[in-house]
Structure 1
Amino acid sequence: MSSEHIGSSFDDFLDEEGIRDEVEAVAVKRVIAWQILQAMQELNLTKSMMAERMQTSRAQLDRLLDPKNDKVQLDTIFRGAKAVGRKLRFELV
């Protein structure tokens, strides 16, 4: 009983399946959503208060905080980070 994936990395598996970019995008979005939610809790911010700080709607905020929604605009993520006193940093590797 042999497996073609024994000894290969998870990244290799994702590449072979052709889903690496999609998986990475979802993972990054989940981390960002979690970090913003944690910061909101530390500051005792309700969703209404947060949306007001971001100058956006609750629906837009809900999309930002939805860990499965990776179709959020970059400016929304930046405004969310700023609203909780954080900065967003991107890096090409």
Structure 2
Amino acid sequence: MTNNQHIGSSLDDLLEEDGILAEVNALALKRVLAWQLSQEMERQGLSRSQMAASMKTSRSSLQRLLDPENTSVTLKTMEKAAAIVGKRLRIELDDIQEPANS
């Protein structure tokens, strides 16, 4: 039997070891936000043009917000979009889970 140092480690451990954990987390959060916003716009029957006008922004700015790959959207923009669909943006700091010693 061989001793594999990665057996029992988590995906987060691997991503952190590769130095991309923060980037992957930001992308995952943005994908969820873009999906939730798109779903809420659809539920309310809001077109992209209507949403952009309500936000007092361009359709290209709204497209960046709805692009799940674009993580460079500001909190102010996210907050404004959430308010227009009757939601609030909630961001919090959470403790980092330390891996259990085996």
Is 1:69 paired with 2:59?
no
Compute the displacement of 1:2 (Å).
Answer: 6.3
Provide Cα deviations, 1:53-80, integer angstroms capped at 9, x if missing partner: 1111100000000000000111111111
Q: TM-score, normalised by structure 2?
A: 0.86
Partner of 1:37: 38
Q: How many residues align?
A: 93
User: Who wins on radius of gyration, i.e. which is larger?
Assistant: 2
What CA RMSD, in Å, does the superposition of the two structures yield over aligned residues? Answer: 1.2
Partner of 1:82: 83
Partner of 1:26: 27
Q: TM-score, normalised by structure 1?
A: 0.94
Task: Extract unaligned runs of 5+ from structure 1.
Answer: none
Partner SS for 2:57: coil
Structure with a larger share of its residues in helix? 1
Cα distance in structure 1, aligned partners of 2:18 and 2:28: 17
